[in-house]
Structure 1
Amino acid sequence: MSLPDVALVGDIGGTNARFALVSAGGVQPQAIEILPCVGYANLDDAVVDYLERSGVGAVANVCLAVASPVRGAEVRMTNNHWHFDINEMRDRFGWQAFKVVNDFTAMALGVLHVGADKLIHVCGGGGNPARPKLVIGPGTGLGVSGLVPIHNGWVPLVTEGGHVDFAPTDDIESAILTILRQRFGRVSVERILCGQGLLDLYQAHAEIQGVAAALDTPEKITAAATGQGDPLARQVLGHFCGILGRVAGNAALTLGSLGGVYLCGGIVPRFADFLLDSPFQAGFEDKGRMRPLMESTPVHIVTEPYTGLLGAAEALNNPEVA
């Protein structure tokens, strides 16, 4: 393959860096490699290694999605030691185009190219495909993005919607808010709707009920809730899903996302069957006079593991993405 034939795309997280090649103007990733970030001193070393592994000595166009805020040319990863300057990287490798986008912005753009076989319908009707789409999902934090239609495509929204205030709706949630406020001060929805948040929610429920919090990781809580029938774990994971439904519903109302709601990230697909029978739908649809609107809005779980790479490729080709 020659320089003009392929572009490099990447999805850089706190633990792993996913790289792939895409044909010029295309979005389908090829030669996907997952490299551990800890194995490389910095991004440039990982890029060199990947290009050697893939048999492509150089590329002209690159787009990387990063789990970090993107402000200016200097990028520092939030959860690993990598940092780089966009302009210095472009000059070093001689790239003609080098775009860097937030990982959840890429996730939103990737949803445009996810096949129907990678979507699990949760609830809702047909919606209106010409209206905005909401992309939301718990992982290390709570990512929130959206897609707004324009004449020839879509514009992704860069938001920090995961940091809105957590609003309790009953006495138990008020008690949970008190417990979490004592630990963290201000409590955002991200404090609950993320991996660590699931553990914090579990510990808060245990404290309220006066029982031991026997499980010490979100993975153990999920396993106990879905496979072992642990009553407390099932209650907590169900509550987690209900809160996620409410928050997603609130965001959908704000964005007007009749085009659909897409649940992304690394957590929800692990317990998709549980979520389908959870309070998620009730939380999503319980919006008073807006219930008919919510009932018509389709909600899907995205199970495509490389949505971020699809989104990086879309971002490279999308003129609305700087």
Structure 2
Amino acid sequence: MVRPNDSETNFPFPILIGDIGGTNARFALLVDAFAEPKQFPIVQTADFKNIDDALQQCILDTTSVQPRSAILALAGPIEGDEVPLTNCPWVVRPRDMIANLGFDDVLLVNDFEAQALAIASLSEGDREKIGPGTERHAASRTVLGPGTGLGVAGLVYARHSWIPVPGEGGHVDVGPRSERDHQIWPFLEPIEGRISAEQLLCGRGIMNIYRAVSAADGVDAPLETPADVTSRALAQEDRAAIETVALFSTYLGRVAGDMAMIFMAKGGVFLAGGISQKILPALRGPEFRAAFEDKAPHSALLKTIPTYVVTHPVAALAGLAAFARMPDRFGVATEGRHWKR
């Protein structure tokens, strides 16, 4: 009988860990608690009709060491026995994975829970500090990840455990503050009357800002992809692109500062995801940190909170590996998300 289980948090090795997004799925195998994760080639989700086929062909058929457990981070809410991904047609069915693929345990977590687990133990070499502030090691932290969407999670320390706090913070309201914002905002398309952070702080958000900047200035917007905009901006080759990335950095700073206050994140605010790494040169500039600290009447508090860009290439997998090795170190909720044979 296969049933959800919330009473046991130790998983039998070998453990397959996975970070599954809308476009790419990344997997690694943890043979035991002391081994380094063995990474597999990145899986393109569009190449397989379902996750079971991808796991069979790309993982199970390629290794003599067969995993007994799977801990998978998914981009989407986890409810029930069938979990659809937000931006790809895969539906994760843990009962079928146990019945058909030989797993004894399957645990599903939110993708930004995995990012939060990662920031509990990143080394100095896996992050770059932006601006001032001093990290308090047992204090709360928060992580933001502009990518396909905008992920947000918190991390709090209580009863000798790091507890990830997932949520939908990427969908908070944002509004215009500066004169330039007021010129641009009429050209942003609201969703049911509001502009959310995710409409600005993700790949399509870069394009939304770029087109609004161009429309406000009455000029054409010939660039077609976020990569076009960011590369032209970093090369200082296109005025609208340069302003777009500067505004993106400003808006990211504002939202990061909001999250710092919500979580009282004296342990630091961490920027994860591919976009943060790609625009790191821009984030080193004045706009991000100035907007982060511009939180009267609490600007003095924000000045003391450090901010970082996560540079680890597979931070989510690192977070899952840390949890798999020592689950008792983390307060990960498993009720309704852990299936056993």
- TM-score, shorter chain, exceeding 0.5: yes
Distance in 2 between residues matched to 1:207 and 1:183, nearest whole Å: 19
Deviations 1:266-293 (A, max 9, x none): 1010121121014001000111231221
Distance apart, 1:209 and its partner CA: 0.9
Question: Would the aligned equivalents of 1:124 and 1:294 in 2 still touch at CA under 8 Å?
Answer: no
**Structure 1 unaligned blocks of 5 or more:** none
Distance apart, 1:186 and its partner CA: 2.3
Partner of 1:29: 37
Provide closer, same or farther for how the CA distance between residues 86 and 315 of structure 1 changes in structure 2, counting only shifts above 3 A.
farther
Distance apart, 1:162 and its partner CA: 0.6
Q: 2:163 is paired with a residue of what secondary structure? A: strand
Map of 1:130-141 to 2, 5 A cutoff?
130-141=138-149
Partner of 2:274: 266
Distance in 1 between residues matched to 2:295 and 2:73, nearest whole Å: 34
Select the residue among 304, 307, 327 that pairs with 1:296: 304
For 2:327, the aligned partner's letter is N
Q: 1:288 is paired with a residue of what secondary structure? A: coil
Select the residue among 295, 318, 322 that pairs with 2:327: 318
Partner of 2:62: 53
Provide closer, same or farther for how the CA distance between residues 190 and 148 of structure 1 changes in structure 2, counting only shifts above 3 A.
same
Partner of 1:66: 74
Distance in 2 between residues matched to 1:160 and 1:120, nearest whole Å: 25
Distance apart, 1:217 and its partner CA: 1.2
Distance in 1 between residues matched to 2:73 and 2:190, nearest whole Å: 35
Map of 1:1-40 to 2, 5 A cutoff?
5-25=13-33, 28-40=36-48
Tell me which moved more, 19-28 or 207-216. 19-28
For 1:52, the aligned partner's letter is D
Q: 1:268 is paired with a residue of what secondary structure? A: helix
For 1:109, the aligned partner's letter is L
Select the residue among 125, 128, 132 that pairs with 1:117: 125
Distance apart, 1:27 and its partner CA: 7.9
For 1:65, the aligned partner's letter is A
Distance in 2 between residues matched to 1:157 and 1:292, nearest whole Å: 26
Provide closer, same or farther for how the CA distance between residues 289 and 43 of structure 1 changes in structure 2, counting only shifts above 3 A.
same
Q: Does 1:107 align with 2:115?
A: yes
TM-score (structure 2 length as normaliser): 0.88
Partner of 1:165: 173
Question: Would the aligned equivalents of 2:187 and 2:216 in 1 still touch at CA under 8 Å?
Answer: no
Partner of 1:83: 91
Distance apart, 1:72 and its partner CA: 1.9
Q: 2:42 is paired with a residue of what secondary structure? A: strand
Partner of 1:197: 205
Distance in 2 between residues matched to 1:270 and 1:54, nearest whole Å: 33
Equivalenced residue count is: 319
**Structure 2 unaligned blocks of 5 or more:** 1-10, 335-341
Distance apart, 1:194 and its partner CA: 0.6
Partner of 2:136: 128
Map of 1:87-98 to 2, 5 A cutoff?
87-98=95-106
Partner of 1:308: 316
Moved over 6 A (4+): none
Q: 1:126 is paired with a residue of what secondary structure? A: coil
Question: Would the aligned equivalents of 1:27 and 1:313 in 2 still touch at CA under 8 Å?
Answer: no
Select the residue among 188, 194, 201 that pairs with 1:186: 194
Provide closer, same or farther for how the CA distance between residues 258 and 207 of structure 1 changes in structure 2, counting only shifts above 3 A.
same
Question: Would the aligned equivalents of 2:13 and 2:69 in 1 still touch at CA under 8 Å?
Answer: no
Distance in 2 between residues matched to 1:289 and 1:251, nearest whole Å: 16
TM-score (structure 1 length as normaliser): 0.93
The root-mean-square deviation of aligned C-alpha atoms, in Å, is 1.9
Distance in 1 between residues matched to 2:166 and 2:160, nearest whole Å: 20
